[in-house]
């Protein structure tokens, strides 16, 4: 299975000049690595998620490279246009060069009080514009300490079940289970990123065994919604760096990484990608 390493730049870098410098470093290193590899298979797909303001410039620089571009978020209110001050729609980020979008990042849930219903709308809007969706889920420290991780994940993953039911109802006009074609389409456009909130930007990480067991649970849960979802990749995010990437990459349940801080330096980002590339041969 192909691995994914996705860089979430969040509200960084500060200026267009700094974005260009990061893109220079990234593209120089990717081009050099690809010419060394010449003909040998690559097992890791790279993607970056710049902030909306830098999306068009970053995606223009990525033209002709193997690196994909994602948005960090999309509007829940409209997939296209409308009176939603401050929002960027799925159509607008697609027009700016995004192929995928993150949704449900814990920072959106925490600082913007993103609800379950809002995320169902975002999922729907993204799919309407043919975007791939990286759905971020994960428990807080208090929930982890109270051993509520799987309960929290059940609630957060329920947006997928609801979306499947909604789409099935739209297609069939009846209250029935999701037809397999809807689930097949979703399976091709969905990635889950498991990110324990307490591991994001803290330097604290769960053990690989814990992540592996949690990913197994996520895979089983989404497969129970619809069999085609058994092929969906599940990435780990939370303080992944060049030093610990090998250990995560070696586990068969971990299909890649969503990387925050370490994605802001080409060297550490590409070292993480290389760890997954080596491990997933
Ligand atoms: C993130 O915010 O998605 C993330 C994983 O951040 P970091 O790698 O900095 O922990």
In a domain, 59, yes or no: yes
Please count the other Cβ atoms lying within 10 Å of the Cβ belonging to residue 9.
20
CATH number at residue 170: 3.20.20.70
* The model scores a pTM over 0.85: yes
In this prediction, residue 173 carries a pLDDT of 60
Q: 8 in ligand 1 pocket by Cβ < 6 Å? A: yes
* Tens digit of each residue's pLDDT (9 = 90 or more) over 144-195: 999 999 999 999 999 999 999 988 887 776 555 445 788 999 999 999 999 9
Find the 262 Cα to ligand 1 centroid distance in Å.
Answer: 8
In a domain, 26, yes or no: no
Residue numbers of the domain that contains 124: 3-11+44-78+86-260
In a domain, 144, yes or no: yes
Best of 141, 240, 248 for a ligand 1 pocket test (most atoms within 8 Å of beta carbon): 240
Helix boundaries (H) for the chain: 16-37, 52-62, 90-95, 106-111, 116-128, 141-145, 149-172, 180-189, 208-225, 245-249, 266-279
In this prediction, residue 180 carries a pLDDT of 75
Is residue 3 a contact partner of residue 45, using CB atoms and an 8 Å limit? Answer: yes
In a domain, 29, yes or no: no
**Exposed (0-12), middle (13-18) or buried (19+): which is 113, by Cβ within 10 Å?**
exposed
In a domain, 209, yes or no: yes
Number of domains in the chain: 1
Atom of ligand 1 nearest to the CA of 263: 8
Find the 236 Cα to ligand 1 centroid distance in Å.
Answer: 10
In a domain, 55, yes or no: yes
* Tens digit of each residue's pLDDT (9 = 90 or more) over 85-133: 999 999 999 999 999 999 999 999 999 999 999 999 999 999 999 999 9
């Amino acid at each position: 299975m192909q691995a994914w390493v996705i860089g979430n730049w969040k509200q960084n870098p500060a200026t267009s000049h700094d974005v260009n410098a990061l893109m220079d470093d990234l593209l120089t290193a990717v081009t050099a690595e690809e010419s060394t590899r010449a003909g040998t298979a690559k097992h890791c797909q790279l993607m970056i998620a710049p902030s909306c303001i830098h999306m068009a410039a970053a995606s223009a620089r990525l033209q002709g490279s193997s690196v994909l571009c994602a948005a960090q978020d999309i509007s829940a209110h409209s997939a296209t246009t409308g009176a939603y001050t401050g929002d960027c729609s799925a159509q607008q980020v697609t027009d700016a060069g995004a192929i995928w979008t993150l949704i449900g990042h814990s920072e959106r849930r925490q600082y913007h009080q993103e609800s379950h219903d809002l995320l169902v709308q975002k999922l729907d809007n993204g799919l309407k514009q043919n975007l791939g969706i990286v759905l971020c889920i994960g428990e807080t420290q208090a929930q982890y300490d109270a051993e509520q991780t799987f309960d929290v994940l059940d609630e957060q993953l329920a947006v997928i079940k609801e979306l499947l039911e909604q789409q099935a109802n739209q297609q069939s006009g009846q209250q029935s289970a999701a037809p397999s074609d809807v689930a097949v389409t979703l399976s091709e456009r969905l990635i889950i990123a498991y990110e324990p909130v307490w591991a994001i930007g803290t330097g604290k990480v769960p053990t690989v065994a814990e992540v592996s067991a949690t990913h197994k649970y996520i895979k089983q849960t989404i497969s129970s919604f619809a069999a085609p979802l058994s092929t969906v990749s599940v990435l780990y995010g939370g303080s992944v760096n060049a030093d610990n990437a090998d250990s995560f990459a070696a586990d068969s349940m971990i299909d890649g990484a969503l990387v925050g801080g370490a994605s802001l330096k080409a060297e550490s980002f590409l070292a993480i990608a290389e760890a997954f590339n080596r491990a997933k041969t």
